[in-house]
Structure 1
Amino acid sequence: MTLALQIILVLSSILLTVFVLLHKGKGGGLSSLFGGGVQSNLSGSTVVEKNLDRYTVLMVVIWVACIIALNLLQAFSG
């Protein structure tokens, strides 16, 4: 059980990193300091961006659930 949760945790961590890096920059951060904020956002959120947001939130939920489950298993395996 612990090994399966650890594998799921590693996979969800990798996918979460990829999904966060796929997000479009919103501006106002370091990217605008180096000229990345020049583009204007003329179109609204696309379906792809909304789905990417959903997948990112799902990965966060899975990641947090794995961490909590692993901590509970460790605490009660005394």
Structure 2
Amino acid sequence: MNLVPLMTWPIMTLSIILVVLSVILGLFILLHKARGGGMSDLFGGGMSTSMGGTSVAERNLDRLTVIVGLLWFATIVGLLVLYRIGG
């Protein structure tokens, strides 16, 4: 019977990266401006007016959120592969 330790160094490294990316992704999502039409409208948050265009900072935040989201997904796939092959 071949026993492989559950937490090898690649799995531990990717797990730490996943936790850091999860926190960063959550913060980036919370920084986005509410656009209306969502859950906030149910509780009276739909009274705000939209300014039409988006600022450069908001576009950059959108790009960063997508990049961090893709890295987060790639880390999960990497962990899945490592667990499948045994670390």
State the TM-score, normalized to the length of structure 2: 0.82
More helix by share: 1
Please name the residue that 1:51 is paired with. Answer: 60
Identity level (%): 46
RMSD: 1.3
Aligned length: 78
| Alignment pair present for 1:33 and 2:42 | yes
Structure 2 unaligned segments of length 5 or more: list them: 1-9
State the TM-score, normalized to the length of structure 1: 0.91
Q: CA offsets per residue over residues 25-58 of structure 1, 9 Å max, x none?
A: 1101121222222121124100111011011001
Please name the residue that 1:71 is paired with. Answer: 80
- Superposed structure 1 runs of 4+ greater than 3 Å apart: none
Structure 1 unaligned segments of length 5 or more: list them: none
In 2, the alpha carbon distance for the partners of 1:43 and 1:52 equals 17
Please name the residue that 1:11 is paired with. Answer: 20
In 2, the alpha carbon distance for the partners of 1:33 and 1:65 equals 34
Please name the residue that 2:7 is paired with. Answer: none
Please name the residue that 1:23 is paired with. Answer: 32
